[in-house]
């Protein structure tokens, strides 16, 4: 699972799986679906911060350290809320632009589904981590010459941060580099958060099959030299931290 602040937890494919006519509608009306995903994420973030403020008020009374938005993990309930919010926004714009009943009907439907998803999320509670690790940035790739026989080619790599508890954050987007023959790819991590104690490297010559290359956590500032075939690990990049605990939420009235 990713942290909420890592960015939108859903993509266009997730919206299409929920509503197969989405792209046709977006093309007909001229809606930027990617922008709607970002706006939906911002809207849900605003609602989450309101809910967390209520928890903070309760924490002050009970002298308990309140959770922050940086600790929130994307659970299935939260992802569904975000998805329904995005679909409601798409059909709201479509309804305003075309004034067609079917768009208005879908807008109404997704508004109700958004409310239901939000209510379900509140009923089940908010997933939180104690020591959140943000998504890692793109790794810094380079090359180094070698005396061994190497064919070269295009290689891919991503990285992820680890904290003192051994928890792994969401992996970075993959970076790629063309490596000449008799050379090897090098991988560095930069811009680590204050609570990171090291990082992992996943690499390979196929984007969808990058595997873990280090047997021990790599110290911050270290460079890994990727040797094709040297690692026998089959571990693929993870999806981020899972909640350390779930916090009950106060019920509120949805805005708008």
Residue 13, token pair as written in the block: 């494919």
Question: Vertex 177, ends 169 and 144: CA angle to 5°?
Answer: 100
* Rounded CA separation 7/122 (Å): 20
Bridge partners, 179 (sequence order):
153
Query: Do the bridges between strand 183-188 and strand 153-162 make them parallel or antiparallel, or are there none, so unpaired?
Result: unpaired
Domains along the sequence of the chain with CATH: 4-128 (no CATH), 140-226 (2.60.40)
The pTM (predicted TM-score) of the whole model is 0.87
Determine the pLDDT at residue 1.
77
Instruction: Compute mean pLDDT per 10 residues along the chain, 256 residues long, and list them.
Output: 94 96 93 96 95 72 73 97 97 86 92 97 95 97 94 96 97 97 97 97 97 97 95 95 89 52
Write the burial class of residue 233 (CB in 10 Å: 0-12 exposed, 13-18 middle, 19+ buried).
exposed
């Amino acid at each position: 699972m990713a942290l909420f602040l890592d960015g939108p937890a859903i993509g266009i494919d997730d919206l299409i799986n929920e509503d197969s006519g989405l792209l046709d509608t977006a093309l007909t009306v001229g809606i930027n679906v990617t922008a709607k995903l970002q706006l939906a994420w911002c809207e849900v973030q605003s609602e989450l911060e309101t809910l967390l403020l209520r928890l903070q008020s309760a924490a002050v009374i009970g002298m308990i350290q309140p959770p922050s938005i940086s600790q929130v993990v994307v659970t299935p309930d939260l992802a569904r809320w975000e998805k329904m919010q995005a679909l409601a926004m798409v059909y709201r714009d479509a309804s305003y632009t075309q004034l067609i009943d079917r768009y208005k009907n879908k807008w109404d439907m997704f508004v109700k589904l958004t409310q239901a998803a939000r209510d379900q999320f509140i009923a089940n509670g908010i997933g939180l981590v104690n020591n959140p690790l943000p998504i890692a940035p793109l790794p810094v790739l380079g090359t180094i010459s070698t005396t061994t026989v190497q064919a070269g080619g295009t290689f891919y790599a991503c990285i992820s941060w680890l904290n003192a508890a051994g928890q792994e954050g969401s992996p970075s987007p993959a970076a790629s580099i063309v490596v000449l023959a008799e050379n090897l790819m090098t991988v560095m991590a930069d811009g680590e958060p204050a609570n990171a104690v090291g990082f992992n490297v996943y690499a390979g010559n196929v984007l969808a099959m990058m595997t873990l290359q280090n047997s021990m956590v790599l110290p911050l500032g270290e460079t890994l030299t990727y040797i094709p075939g040297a690692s026998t690990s089959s571990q693929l990049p993870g999806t981020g931290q899972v909640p350390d605990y779930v916090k009950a939420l106060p019920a509120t009235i949805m805005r708008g």
